[in-house]
Amino acid sequence: MSSLRIIRSAARKAATFSVARRGYADISEKLNLSLALPHKTIFNSQDVVQVNIPAESGDMGILSNHVPSIEPIKPGVVEVIESGGTQKFFVSSGFATVHPNNKLTINVVEGAPLESFSLDAVRSSLQEALKVASGNGSEAEKLEARVEADVYESLQYALGK
């Protein structure tokens, strides 16, 4: 598994160094982003500069000319950086796919801008979930509560920053 990651990061580095004049601050080439939920499309083939995604294998920043890859998304913040400003969305889980032609599609089950969340609701839900997770229910119930608690912790951190 770690060798795959080394190969993958090497491939990523190879993609960025193959074009000699390209630098990380180069915004002349845009990334085409589509961010979709089952019930709503947040971005539809829009040109952005950079997208930060919370991948299961670690937080990643996707720029133009990224090597094609498919990344599972863990509950966390997707940050979209455009030339005009930055937007942050908290998403539940899904997949991010970088296509060969500078296109990034992120499909998640649920997501909302950070402003739509209530820190109080997160805190109280986290308390309840931790109680169940360390309680004496069945293994399945405790693991479910642990998954929920991870989401609330991640959300609490994102709202607190």
Partner 1 sequence: MTAWRTVFTYNKYAQITARALRNSLKEEERIIAEKRGLTTVRYQKWENGAGGQQVVLNEVKQ
Which residue ranges make up the site for partner 1 (CB under 8 A)? 39, 56, 74-75, 90-94, 109-112, 116-118, 121-122, 125, 129, 139-140, 143-144, 146-148, 150-152, 155
What is the C-alpha to C-alpha distance for residues 139 and 133, in angstroms, rounded to an integer? Answer: 9
Q: Considering beta carbons, is residue 65 or 107 the nearer one to partner 1?
A: 107
The β-bridge partners of 55 are 58, 73
Nearest-approach distance from CB 42 to partner 1, in angstroms:
14
Q: Considering beta carbons, is residue 4 or 20 the nearer one to partner 1?
A: 4
Nearest-approach distance from CB 34 to partner 1, in angstroms:
19
Is 60:52 a contact under the CB 8 Å cutoff?
A: yes
Q: Considering beta carbons, is residue 31 or 126 the nearer one to partner 1?
A: 126
CA distances from 156 to 86, 90, 114 (A): 20, 11, 11
Q: What single letter denotes the amino acid at residue 143?
A: L
Q: Considering beta carbons, is residue 63 or 96 the nearer one to partner 1?
A: 96
Q: Considering beta carbons, is residue 10 or 137 the nearer one to partner 1?
A: 137
What is the C-alpha to C-alpha distance for residues 85 and 111, in angstroms, rounded to an integer? Answer: 19
Nearest-approach distance from CB 67 to partner 1, in angstroms:
24
Q: What is the DSSP string of 25-82?
A: T--SSPEEEEEE-SS-EEEEEEEESEEEEEETTEEEEE-TTPPPEEEEEPSEEEEEE-
Nearest-approach distance from CB 84 to partner 1, in angstroms:
25
Nearest-approach distance from CB 4 to partner 1, in angstroms:
16
